[in-house]
Structure 1
Amino acid sequence: MTTRRQLIARSAALWGATSSGLLLPQLVRAQSDKLRVGFMLPYTGTFAKLGVAIENGFMLALNEQGGKLGGREIEFYKVDDESNPAKGVENANKLVQRDKVDVVIGTVHSGVQMGIHKVARDSGVLNIIPNAGVHAATRALCAPNVYRTSFTNSQPTLALGKAMVERGHKKAVWITWNYAAGEEAMEGFEAGYTAAGGTIIKKLGVPFPNVEFQAMLTEIAALKPDAVACFFAGGGAVKFLKDFKAAGLDKSIQLYGSGFLTEGVLDAAGDAAQGVLTTMHYSDALDIPRNKQFRLDFAKAFKTQPDVYAVQGYDAGQLLIKGANAVKGDLSNKKALYGAMDGASIDSPRGMWTMSKAHNPIQDMYLREVVGKENKVLGVAGKAVEDSGKGCRLG
């Protein structure tokens, strides 16, 4: 693996040789023999931990291949996307125009992803999305060179409604932040819940990133639904879980959510998370050999436990490996490269999944219950759940 110090040293050497007219042919050949992989991920700020987990997962997949892609050595480049949508295009262009990468791995934040997406569509560079669930990337603005290895924002909640109705919870209140991810998660929930025979008696929205929930919880108490379904994540999820319990609603109303409600927050939420039910494409506690081996290998390599973000990074690596191996490392052979990636079946820690025509995973969604410090898997809430890919035209 090329370290940052080595990258800087090589870049300096190249610049010095170029400026003095001494760029050696063998140096040019040595550089061009390597595939260039660019990471555009959050390495600072709120999502920094997620960015590191994704990169580590990706590197684990490559290390299983001897650190090569299609037999070729790799040069790595990194840009901190700062989770700043305003810099999305500028930062993506650093990798594509300045560093001439063959593939961009990124990112977490959906707003930043749309900046990468514009650059990918304009330049034709291969982009693999290891997290951002924004619908447009694999719907109306889909592209032959853009693939996702995570989810769309509506996929986890699409599987939620049937599980709720099967448990007798036929009247529900929906609550989320008023922003794109929340709205897209609501789309999935509404489609799945109403199709299963449930009725949404109220939709509540909170300005993002507001975490003042008291007025909404008072309204929920007055409505007396069978259940509450929601989309929150991170610190907002912790606050909502605690406030829901403090209001006493957990005694009479079952709380459900997209899996991000309880992902990575169980220590912080404590007792407030106990008994909460969610749907997600992964669980740390998923009892399959592939997941057990992945978790063991990841822990050995990085001295920490993997999460869903590490799995998505790992699968981004697996997808790229399948494509690169099919073309023997010649990523310029785009027809064969994309053909291999289009038809990929990924043996993932989350279970086997395949790529949809719109380039989004077709995958199982698991029903999970918080028991102690884990999201215990109760079963499959939705088998081979596929995003609609509405508006995508890839032929």
Structure 2
Amino acid sequence: MSLRILALAACAAAALATSVPALSQPAGKLKVGLMLPATGTFAALGNAIENGFKLHVAEQGGKLGGREIEYVKVDDESDPSKATDNVNKLIKRDNVDVIIGTVHSGVAMAMAKAAKESGTMLIVPNAGADAVTGAMCAKNIFRTSFSNWQPGYATGVVAAQKGYKKAVTITWNYAAGSEMVKGFTEAFEKGGGTIAKHLTLPFPNVEFQALLTEVAAQKPDVVFSFFAGGGAVKFVKDYDAAGLKKTVPLMGTGFLTDGTLEAQGDSAQGVITTLHYADGIDTPRNTAFRNKYAVTYKSQPDVYAVQGYDAAQLLAWGLTAVKGDFAQKDAMYFAMNKAVLSSPRGKLAFSTAHNPVQDFYIREVKGKENVSVGIAVKALADPARGCKL
């Protein structure tokens, strides 16, 4: 072999040796933008999501898929009018790799639009706006919570199974409320029930008295409601104070009583909800999660903490599949769509629209817990109407 050929071979080998680590080794910190509510009605929910996310990262030694995580935070204030500006701070100003958010469905819609247009990965750890994994679906958008249709539908199934025939619905007049009511109505009517009246009030209004007077006038068999955070606390207490709890059973999606039981006190006792998580799920996975969260944050976890925790789990799944090489986005998204997570809620898989496929539990408030008393629907998948992937 000539000296020239040997020299060329040596150069090629040197080039290969230096290029392989660049492809196979993680390249510095991964920048994660947390766009969650830090103030207002949903502040406690945003805090629980952040805690859950950071708990899983801490369990992995501060890294996911070999990449150290750097956080950038924006308070979205649960204000859709500020959502586009806020998400663009993360995308254009801070150049984040991944966005985690949010709680409010109206804000999430603006985030999904920006993520779809920019190609930035978005993992939604709460907001259930159906369109996020429906008409707005995209290969880079995932959800680790629920679609609004899912818990509404599951509650409608249970209400019909209980033999209720006439229902009144009450919620805030915004995307989450109207979509959960649609899900409830679909299942309840399929089970032979009818809706006497849909009652709404503007978000985040909590003046319920006029609506409760209307409930009393309608004399339904059951009331279905969706409220969350501070609004849920006041609604449950006002419902009880109006004397309705004694005559008309109150049901709702689990957000009515999740993270709110201590403040609701005796007014919440016996309320039936459905959700993809319950405090008393008796599995080693859930027990370990609850114990670790309680020790770390000196409080009990709720569904919001679980959804944040699983957002970190899903991101870790994708990063691990590509050995931390975030540039391999298509391979990462493919792996994430095929993920089957061991969640505190139970088995968590994903539909082709990137929405969770999961069991929904029947929960009854007993003391300070939402105790699981059965399964409403097994492996419930959102229909993802309008999604084209």
**TM-score, normalised with respect to structure 1:** 0.88
Give the deviation of 1:31 after TM superposition: 11
2: CA distance, partners of 1:154 / 1:58:
24
Bigger CA radius of gyration = 2
The one-letter code of the counterpart of 2:181 is: M
Counterpart of 1:199 (choices 182, 187, 194) is 194
Give the deviation of 1:106 after TM superposition: 1.3
2:348 is aligned to: 353
For the 8 Å contact 2:129–2:147, the answer to whether it is kept is yes
Is the aligned partner of 1:53 residue 2:64? no
The one-letter code of the counterpart of 1:146 is: I
Aligned CA distance change for structure 1 residues 262 and 97 (closer, same or farther; 3 Å): same
- Compare 41-50 and 189-198 and name the one that shifted more: 41-50
Give the deviation of 1:295 after TM superposition: 0.6
2: CA distance, partners of 1:223 / 1:80:
41
1:158 is aligned to: 153
- Compare 131-140 and 266-275 and name the one that shifted more: 266-275
- Compare 337-346 and 245-254 and name the one that shifted more: 245-254
Instruction: Write the deviation string for residues 145-171 of structure 1: whole angstroms up to 9, x where unpaired.
Output: 000101111211101122112222122
For the 8 Å contact 2:27–2:325, the answer to whether it is kept is no
Counterpart of 1:344 (choices 315, 327, 339) is 339
| Gap regions ≥5 residues in structure 2 | 1-24
Instruction: Write the deviation string for residues 302-354 of structure 1: whole angstroms up to 9, x where unpaired.
Output: 22221111100100000000000000011111121011001011111111111
- Partner of 1:285, secondary structure, is coil
1:285 is aligned to: 280
- Partner of 1:133, secondary structure, is coil
Instruction: Write the deviation string for residues 125-160 of structure 1: whole angstroms up to 9, x where unpaired.
Output: 111111111111111111110001011112111011
2: CA distance, partners of 1:393 / 1:266:
40
For the 8 Å contact 2:41–2:231, the answer to whether it is kept is no
The one-letter code of the counterpart of 2:324 is: G
2:97 is aligned to: 102
Kindly, what percent of the aligned residue pairs are identical? 61
What pairs with 1:196-345 in structure 2 (closer than 5 Å)? Answer: 196-345=191-340
Give the deviation of 1:101 after TM superposition: 1.7
Give the deviation of 1:234 after TM superposition: 2.3
The one-letter code of the counterpart of 1:184 is: E
Is the aligned partner of 1:185 residue 2:180? yes
Give the deviation of 1:228 after TM superposition: 1.2
| Equivalences, count | 365
Pairwise CA RMSD of aligned residues? 1.8
The one-letter code of the counterpart of 2:188 is: Y
Aligned CA distance change for structure 1 residues 80 and 376 (closer, same or farther; 3 Å): same
Counterpart of 2:375 (choices 377, 380, 390) is 380
Aligned CA distance change for structure 1 residues 31 and 64 (closer, same or farther; 3 Å): closer
Give the deviation of 1:218 after TM superposition: 2.7
2: CA distance, partners of 1:44 / 1:208:
15
Counterpart of 2:125 (choices 130, 136, 139) is 130
2: CA distance, partners of 1:303 / 1:62:
18
2:82 is aligned to: 87
Aligned CA distance change for structure 1 residues 238 and 60 (closer, same or farther; 3 Å): closer
Instruction: Write the deviation string for residues 99-129 of structure 1: whole angstroms up to 9, x where unpaired.
Output: 2221111112222222222221111011111
For the 8 Å contact 1:178–1:206, the answer to whether it is kept is yes
Aligned CA distance change for structure 1 residues 173 and 122 (closer, same or farther; 3 Å): same
- Partner of 1:159, secondary structure, is helix
Aligned CA distance change for structure 1 residues 100 and 298 (closer, same or farther; 3 Å): same
The one-letter code of the counterpart of 2:125 is: P
For the 8 Å contact 2:26–2:323, the answer to whether it is kept is no
- Partner of 2:264, secondary structure, is helix
- The runs of at least 4 aligned residues of structure 1 exceeding 4 Å deviation read none
For the 8 Å contact 1:161–1:198, the answer to whether it is kept is no
For the 8 Å contact 1:36–1:102, the answer to whether it is kept is yes
The one-letter code of the counterpart of 2:171 is: T
1: CA distance, partners of 2:170 / 2:119:
39
The one-letter code of the counterpart of 1:280 is: L
| Gap regions ≥5 residues in structure 1 | 1-29
Is the aligned partner of 1:118 residue 2:113? yes
Give the deviation of 1:203 after TM superposition: 1.9
